[in-house]
Amino acid sequence: MSINVLIVDDSLSACRVLSRHFLLLDVDKVEFCRDARSAIRTLSKYKDDYQIVVVDLHMPEVDGIEFLMRLSKMDFKGGIIIASAMESRIVEAASQLVEASKLRLLGALMKPVTTEQLRVCVERYRLMAFQGNGVSQKGQMSIDEIRRAINSNKVIPYYQAQVDISSGQIKGFEVLCRLQQGTRLQLITPDKFIEVAESNNALNSLTTKLLNSAIPEWALISQFDSCQQCRLSINLTPKQLNQSGWHTRLMQYCEQNLLSPSRLTVEITENQVLDKQRQHSSISQLRMNRIGVAIDDFGTGYTNLSQLCTLPISELKLDRSLVHGIHKDPVSQTILRSMQAIGSKLGIHLVAEGVEDIHDLNYLEQIEDISLQGYLICRPKPYSELVRWLKARERLLQA
């Protein structure tokens, strides 16, 4: 695989240092531009010749933010690395801009940048390019493809553990949806089908099919010693909450599989405002039936502190944007401490999502009464792999 890198930085010394780092990483070619205008002209003609673009944020005339916006309009297909000496909140804001656009973020790095940090970014690009040859990195699935997957039992549950690091106990698992297209082994992640399914009234069928597989598997997972008190979390959208009957349906699943409703949690995504009476009623009905209710991706959507005080939720999941870089971000640390205090008074348990950095993990290990979820804790796994992971974990704890 050919990898050519373009560095965009007004500092000649920074360009030279970054070039030396990249040349240690077995890339094919490294070039640099000293200003964004030159880089835009180069990429306008030869954008397909570069697989990775590294950009500084603080540059004269056209800054890094404006450059990224123009790069998005050019439909650049490669990977982006932000490398900046600006404060972490600005770098994080720029990374969110990239993720919200058509661009693909490989890393948001604070200068001085190390060879190892760039190595991780290059490996992310290689993985991204590899997946681009399979199903998961294609554009959105069509509704016909989604319905074929549903009707042919190609809806696959994946499970990701939530762990209390201070005690080492598994607190629960979130069930995640994957779709298999035809006979291909590469499974498709929700970002490629959820919006299409919801806009075409197929989300209930998709959720039902997922639960038909996940709940019986969960009954077997629960037999492990380390999982006997764990909870299973499933996802429902506000639109689904606006429909009647979901609490009854979930109670039936529990009854059929001899599971206590108190060990089931419904995660509500924050992509819409929770302000309709039907939605509030559904949340109350779930809680009256001892089913937990979590606000997912808190910090990115519409839920406010007033709603936390009035809605009978049991769990709050802090979005990865609040967790990423928390070890060096006093603002995120203050938000976490504040939410922990509020949660303690309201009886709301906190879960930190997207734990992927060892330094963030080390910081979060010092926090009491919080569960962690992310790739450093446990990657999402299908049932068979999860069973192997649990067996290996139990052997390790017994050793």
User: What is the per-residue pLDDT across 152-184, written as a single tens digit (0 to 9) for each?
Assistant: 999 999 999 999 988 889 999 999 999 998 777
Over residues 279-325, the pLDDT tens digits come to 788 889 999 999 999 988 876 655 556 667 778 999 999 988 889 88
Q: Cβ(268)–Cβ(226) under 8 Å?
A: no
What is the fold of 4-132? Rossmann fold (3.40.50)
Mean of all residue pLDDT scores within the chain: 87
Sequence ranges of the domains in the chain: 4-132, 143-398
Q: Residues 6 or more apart from 6 whose CB is under 8 A from it?
A: 31, 32, 33, 39, 42, 43, 50, 52, 53, 54
Task: Name the CATH superfamily for 143-398.
Answer: EAL domain (3.20.20.450)
Report how far residue 367's alpha carbon sits from residue 110's, in angstroms, rounded to the nearest whole number: 25
Q: Cβ(142)–Cβ(201) under 8 Å?
A: no
Report strand pairing: 155-164 vs 381-382.
Answer: antiparallel
Give yes or no for residue 394 having a pLDDT over 70. yes
| Residue, of 373 and 310, whose pLDDT is higher | 373
